C-alpha cells in the first residue's frame, strides 16, 4: 500500500495530515504511534478509505483506492474501529456473518464458503463456544474479539485496527496483541494498527510510523527509530531505554 503527498483538512484551516507519504509493506505488522491529535487515526482512516484526502493519492496494488468498488475493497482490507455500538438481540455468529457481505451478490452466495470462513474467524478469536451467545452478554475483551472476528470473516489480506487495546485491561490487551501477532505470523495477514503504548508497539511491530502534528517524524523498524531523542521530540518526555534478555528493548519514562 502506498500513499503520496496526502493532505487531509476537515475545516480547510488546519491540516490534520500535512503532506504525508509512506508505504506499507505487505505481510508485516505496521504500527502508527504518536501523541493525541497527531493524525494517526486520520492516517489509518485514509488507508482504509473511510476518509477521502483533500489532496494526494492513496493506492493499493498500484490502483487508486477510489477506483475500488466498496465490496471489492472490503475483500482487500478490513478494519476494526476503537468503539462500536453493541446491537441488541444479535448473536456472535450472526454479527460475524455480516463480515461475509463483500463475498455476496444480490442473487448468489456460497453458503459453504461462508460457513467455513465464519468457523475459521470464530476459532482464531477463540469464540467458538460462545457463538450462539448474545453480544450484550460479553466482556469488553470478548466484544473486541467479536469485531475482529467479523473483520476476519471478510478474508481480506490487510487488517487495520484503530487503538484495539484502549478500553481493555492489561490481560485482554496482551491477549489481543498475541492474537494480532498470530494472525500475522500464522495466517500471513498484513496488519496496520494504531497503538498508544510505546512498549507494546516496539514489541509487536515490524515497522513503526511515528507522527506528530500531522506529519511523519520517523519510520522504520522499532529499534532503528525509537530513541531517547525522538521520544523527547515527539512526546516531550524524558525516557530511558533498557535492553533486557527476555523483554528485548523497553522504555521507561522519567519525567517531563
Partner 1 sequence: MRKRIASYVIVSLLLVVTIVYSATTGSIKMGFFEFFSALFEQGNSQMEAIRDLRFPRMIVAIFAGAALSVSGVLLQSVMRNPLADAGIIGISSGAAFVQLFIISLFPMLFFMTPLFAFMGGAFACFLVFALSWKSDLSPLKLILVGIAINAMFTGLTEAFISFGGSLNVSASSIVGSNLTMRTWSDVSIIATYGTIGLILAFALYSWCNLLVLQDKTAKSIGFHVARARLIIAAVAVLLAAISVVVAGVISFVGLLVPHIARRLVGYDHKVLIPFTALLGALIILLADTLGRTIVAPLEIPASTLMAIIGGPFLIFLLRKE
- When binding is defined by CB under 8 A, the residue of 4, 28, 75, 203 that contacts partner 1 is 75
Residue closer to partner 1 by CB (options 87, 140) is 87
The DSSP code sequence of 28-83 is SEEEEE-STTSSHHHHHHHHTTSS--SEEEEEETTEEGGGS-HHHHHHHEEEE-S-
- When binding is defined by CB under 8 A, the residue of 18, 56, 57, 81 that contacts partner 1 is 81
Stretch that binds partner 1, among 52-60, 144-152, 212-220, 225-233 (CB under 8 A): 144-152
- When binding is defined by CB under 8 A, the residue of 19, 57, 84, 166 that contacts partner 1 is 84
β-pair type (55-60, 215-220): unpaired
CB of 226 to partner 1, least distance (A): 30
- When binding is defined by CB under 8 A, the residue of 17, 44, 78, 183 that contacts partner 1 is 78
Residue 163 DSSP SS3: coil
Stretch that binds partner 1, among 30-38, 147-155, 171-179, 210-218 (CB under 8 A): 147-155
Q: Does 98 bind partner 1 (CB under 8 A)?
A: yes
Q: For residue 67, count other CB atoms closer than 10 A to its CB.
A: 10
Q: How many residues in the shown chain lie near partner 1 by CB under 8 A?
A: 27
CB of 98 to partner 1, least distance (A): 6
Is there a contact between 186 and 161 (Cβ–Cβ < 8 Å)? no
Stretch that binds partner 1, among 27-35, 80-88, 168-176, 185-193 (CB under 8 A): 80-88
- When binding is defined by CB under 8 A, the residue of 23, 50, 126, 253 that contacts partner 1 is 50
Residue with cell 496526502: 6
Residue 133 DSSP SS3: coil
Q: Exposure string (b/e) for 29-49, b if CB count within 10 Å is 16 or more?
A: bbbbbbeeebbbbbbbbbbbb
Q: Does 154 bind partner 1 (CB under 8 A)?
A: yes
- When binding is defined by CB under 8 A, the residue of 27, 37, 87, 221 that contacts partner 1 is 87
Residue with cell 512526546: 235
Is there a contact between 44 and 192 (Cβ–Cβ < 8 Å)? yes
Q: Which residues are 212's β-sheet partners?
A: 215
Residues binding partner 1 (CB under 8 A): 48, 50, 69-75, 78-79, 81, 84-85, 87-90, 94, 98-99, 101-102, 147, 150-151, 154
Amino acid at each position: 500500500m502506498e500513499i503520496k503527498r496526502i493532505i487531509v483538512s476537515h475545516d480547510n484551516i488546519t491540516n490534520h495530515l500535512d503532506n504525508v507519504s509512506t508505504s506499507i509493506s505487505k505481510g508485516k505488522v505496521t504500527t502508527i504511534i504518536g501523541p493525541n491529535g497527531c493524525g494517526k487515526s486520520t492516517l489509518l482512516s485514509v488507508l482504509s478509505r473511510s476518509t477521502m484526502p483533500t489532496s494526494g493519492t492513496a493506492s493499493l496494488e498500484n490502483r487508486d483506492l477510489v477506483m475500488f468498488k466498496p465490496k471489492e475493497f472490503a475483500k482487500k482490507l478490513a478494519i476494526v474501529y476503537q468503539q462500536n455500538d453493541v446491537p441488541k438481540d444479535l448473536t456472535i455468529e450472526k454479527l460475524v456473518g455480516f463480515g461475509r457481505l463483500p463475498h455476496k451478490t444480490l442473487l448468489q452466495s456460497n453458503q459453504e464458503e461462508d460457513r467455513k470462513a465464519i468457523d475459521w474467524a470464530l476459532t482464531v478469536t477463540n469464540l467458538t463456544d460462545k457463538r450462539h451467545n448474545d453480544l450484550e452478554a460479553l466482556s469488553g475483551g470478548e466484544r473486541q474479539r467479536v469485531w475482529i472476528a467479523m473483520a476476519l470473516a471478510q478474508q481480506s489480506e490487510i487488517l487495520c485496527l484503530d487503538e484495539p487495546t484502549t478500553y481493555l485491561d492489561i490481560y485482554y490487551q496482551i491477549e489481543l496483541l498475541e492474537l494480532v501477532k498470530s494472525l500475522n505470523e500464522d495466517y500471513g495477514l498484513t496488519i496496520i494498527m494504531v497503538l498508544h503504548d510505546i512498549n507494546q508497539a516496539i514489541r509487536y511491530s515490524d515497522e513503526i510510523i511515528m507522527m506528530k502534528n500531522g506529519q511523519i517524524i520517523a519510520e522504520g523498524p522499532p529499534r532503528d527509530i525509537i530513541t531517547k531523542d525522538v521520544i523527547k521530540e515527539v512526546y516531550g518526555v524524558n525516557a530511558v531505554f533498557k535492553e533486557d534478555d527476555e523483554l528485548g528493548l523497553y522504555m521507561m519514562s522519567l519525567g517531563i
